[in-house]
Structure 1
């Protein structure tokens, strides 16, 4: 009766009106969400995919994740050229690797013999970029910005977005020398200064928007590094958080190569074996000290000859080798890049371990060598202090002493780094505050270079070959989970290279310096082309976290 009445009067049933209202609400909600997402993408945050390996291993591009058949260390290998043609127009399949931990070199045939599959290429990290960052705050050194490539911000209607690490600020002259970066504002570049030939020494472009070009950084190369002292260059030091982000594994003692067990000396070995107790004499992972005298563990960088693993090998210096760049590719070879340069000696090292301190323990020392000097974090386990020590040929010098919190019996996670001419100590994940006393004047080059140091890098056989890292103890102290890292090494083709950073511009480098096209090769990043700061990796979930 009521339905017929509604029809007669031309009015709609309440259910029909409710359905129409509900449909309109859904449509409005969808439109609102779409508009909101577009606004967020335009003004607040945007997702990007990392295509290349120029920021490895901080950020991964297209890569294959291998597990070494010898030591079970898992690591990525660059496969960008397999996914997209390289600069030679070739696509190259990654079929093997060289393990960054044990240096085992596995070819496609070797992988098949182990009945393992060559992994498929995975896409790069997905990162979230906070776009208002540089509208709210000035860019900061060691940020990771995303920006439009200045030479071609767009190519074939596709945005050319790059991601690098910000190193140099406007008005600075940046120097790259033996892996470290330096800055000064003492150098000037007068626009009217002439050369002996009457030409402008520091030319300017016709258009100010072209100041980004490499030509206007006035790049210079020098064979000796006395330039750094002459012009007040200061080394650019990283915060403890950045140190960890830019550390690269040298050796994880928990992942020793199986084929070498019992064949020669392991990388970590006791100086006096009878004074240590080890869990496994052939492949020790836990070393327990005892007695009233100081005893030492030593590390040597032993790279085996995998064609003849039974033959003992001589120690080598630690270099900037990157497993990420060492994939075996078929067919052809890569195009020219810094990656083709020989590996360089790296003297900036970091040592970490778990220390099990027993009752009555007296002392624990973490020691790192660099050229003619050795540096120590000396823990007094009775007083609960840590002393930083610089050991020179003329004797040991205590730099500073502070409370460490390492005193009572227990297990402590310890880490000691000698990066950027400064010493840093962590206890249970927290850095100790030594203040400016932890910073030291640069290590001087040796009076005579080693005969094998043909590049005159400055390493010393007694330190950098024989004992680049050591652990000393007095009393019942056991150490385990030993890991050795190195700092990121910024490559240059001469002893010192300098670049001027024009006003309104920034100097940016890739973390994977040996395989990065960056401000060294094409120039500066104009402030107007900064899109925002890369905040976090959100996918894959196994790598999710903040970008430091």
Structure 2
């Protein structure tokens, strides 16, 4: 079984995710490095303990053994699972023995030779790419063992936790704590719902903003366009859709000078090439079919690894067909004059969500389905000049961050209805936009991300049980045909929830890489004491607590993971190999040292 665990180790580690230059992050990174060095040197083995991550159930938050790839086409940096290679401790696909259509499991020891970019979906040859060990992290133990100490706390939802695996307590796992003692937890349409003792109805579990932003997954970064598509406007994802048009100067920088009363809309369409289209583009041949926008899914580059034992030209999309409607949009807004209105828009299930900024008044409204969520307009500092904007629709809540400052705290919630599931519509094929009304502005650095989608069954897409034999997509092209037609997803109305009751002093753990995580729900009760077997006989078990299979008892929690203190070394300069996976020279990967949220 490919365990997604954290083991004590002293070897270097990790992966790299793309750099998004944020001014407010520089100071935090420097402070974090200093704190981590002090902790590692002074308190290791007592308050803090070091672990290394071997597999990818928590990717991309934490990287197991992997390959880091700079996409040959769009130069976006992504990671691909390599835990199945020799020394990695498991198979490259199918955590816990599950297998996914459209991907290939390699036998332990086989080399990872291909992977797919999440940003442009180019399927890259990775034959010569080195493999790096997983992230080395620090785990604070006194947080849980001694909650009375300053700075300590009880286990909280969304903590990243190291704990001992109930069936094999000598083995440490690392997951995200999602279910708390005494709760009923429900997974439905990718979201987490909670019903506490005494409550009648379930409510959605909303992430604090710091966790929400840290856990968001990449969909598309407009700063990284595929080289083969630069002269192909039919593949542009951001385009002007109104008579008053945005003009693109430097690649990825758009500007508009709308007159009073004029509206100019710049809209994102999820134009993702399927493998056959990519092959035609690269060979400069006629496309087998015209570009068509598709629904956004829970696609992970990390899970697209293909081994030397099995290789195809598939993008790995078949393992990730679940529609995700919770999105965030980040951009650089350049205000040229303090006049007019700018709107940032996100669509989910055909419902429009907007952040409406009045540049003349310096105020903002958050609007859901045509209704403002805030009472009275809030003040926002967006005068003439450049501003970083982050607008999100996660967990039935809208949030806005301007220049690093949350405008409405963690955000403003809107009501959700468990009786009426949200279904994708044609509008969800083009789910994001920037609109300017009577404004003179520019936008750039457009980045679209999505929320984690928690599948109902560990290791299996939600859609597996609903597509009948005549409609099961057996190739990526067939999947894209379905994703281009939202009406094919009407079956989501019948998607049943899965409920888990959590006992007192017990917890439920899930992986961020939900499609590939052998999480709490996939465990069993091999540890349960069997009175019919003598205690000294194999299979007798040891746990007399009558633990449900998905529960982790409080006494098995080791501590809270709080810092990635040593990712893998970052190669630079000439490519000198001492072996296939050891390249020199290299430097500390400072950009990937981070607080774990």
Residue 40 of structure 1 deviates from its aligned partner by 4.3
Correspondence for 1:506 = 507
Which deviates the most, 117-126 or 347-356?
Answer: 117-126
Residue 97 of structure 1 deviates from its aligned partner by 1.1
Q: What are the within-5 Å matches in structure 2 for residues 294-305 of structure 1? A: 294-304=263-273, 305=277
Residue 96 of structure 1 deviates from its aligned partner by 1.2
Residue 232 of structure 1 deviates from its aligned partner by 0.6
Q: What are the within-5 Å matches in structure 2 for residues 478-497 of structure 1? A: 478-493=442-457, 495=495, 496-497=497-498
Correspondence for 2:543 = none
Residue 103 of structure 1 deviates from its aligned partner by 0.7
Answering whether residue 446 of structure 2 is matched by residue 476 of structure 1, we say no
Conserved in 1, the CA contact under 8 Å of 2:84 and 2:107?
no
Compared with structure 1, are the counterparts of its residues 104 and 531 closer, same or farther at alpha carbon in structure 2 (3 Å cutoff)?
Answer: same
Conserved in 2, the CA contact under 8 Å of 1:382 and 1:407?
no
Q: What are the within-5 Å matches in structure 2 for residues 169-248 of structure 1? A: 169-186=180-197, 231-248=200-217
Partner Cα separation in structure 1 for residue 387 and residue 107 of structure 2: 52
Answering whether residue 159 of structure 2 is matched by residue 143 of structure 1, we say yes
Cα deviation, 1:64-108, whole Å, max 9, x if unaligned, reads 001111100011111001133436863231111110001111235
Conserved in 2, the CA contact under 8 Å of 1:107 and 1:328?
no
Give 2:423's match in structure 1, choosing from 458, 465, 471.
458
Answering whether residue 39 of structure 2 is matched by residue 46 of structure 1, we say no
Compared with structure 1, are the counterparts of its residues 444 and 184 closer, same or farther at alpha carbon in structure 2 (3 Å cutoff)?
Answer: closer
Partner Cα separation in structure 2 for residue 99 and residue 250 of structure 1: 10
* DSSP 3-state at the match of 2:428: helix
Conserved in 1, the CA contact under 8 Å of 2:380 and 2:407?
no
Answering whether residue 372 of structure 2 is matched by residue 415 of structure 1, we say no
Residue 41 of structure 1 deviates from its aligned partner by 4.3
Correspondence for 2:583 = none
Partner Cα separation in structure 1 for residue 124 and residue 393 of structure 2: 33
Correspondence for 1:28 = none
* DSSP 3-state at the match of 2:445: strand
Conserved in 2, the CA contact under 8 Å of 1:173 and 1:184?
yes
* DSSP 3-state at the match of 2:159: coil
Q: RMSD of aligned C-alpha atoms?
A: 2.5
Give 2:414's match in structure 1, choosing from 424, 440, 460.
440
Partner Cα separation in structure 2 for residue 37 and residue 353 of structure 1: 37
Correspondence for 1:191 = none
Residue 129 of structure 1 deviates from its aligned partner by 0.7
Cα deviation, 1:186-217, whole Å, max 9, x if unaligned, reads 58xxxxxxxxxxxxxxxxxxxxxxxxxxxxxx
* DSSP 3-state at the match of 1:43: coil
Compared with structure 1, are the counterparts of its residues 74 and 441 closer, same or farther at alpha carbon in structure 2 (3 Å cutoff)?
Answer: same
Partner Cα separation in structure 2 for residue 167 and residue 432 of structure 1: 27
Correspondence for 1:90 = 108
Correspondence for 1:249 = 218
Answering whether residue 556 of structure 2 is matched by residue 529 of structure 1, we say yes
Answering whether residue 593 of structure 2 is matched by residue 544 of structure 1, we say yes
* DSSP 3-state at the match of 1:145: strand
Residue 268 of structure 1 deviates from its aligned partner by 0.4
Correspondence for 2:279 = 307
Correspondence for 2:520 = 519
TM-score between the two structures when normalised by the length of structure 1: 0.75
Conserved in 1, the CA contact under 8 Å of 2:320 and 2:515?
no
Unaligned runs of 5+ in 2: 1-38, 92-96, 98-105, 148-152, 463-494, 524-549, 568-588
Partner Cα separation in structure 1 for residue 53 and residue 243 of structure 2: 48
Cα deviation, 1:106-145, whole Å, max 9, x if unaligned, reads 235xxxxxxxx72211000000011111121321111111
Number of aligned residue pairs: 436
Compared with structure 1, are the counterparts of its residues 407 and 530 closer, same or farther at alpha carbon in structure 2 (3 Å cutoff)?
Answer: closer
Give 1:428's match in structure 2, choosing from 385, 397, 403.
403
Give 2:258's match in structure 1, choosing from 252, 277, 290.
290
Correspondence for 1:153 = 169
Correspondence for 1:347 = 325
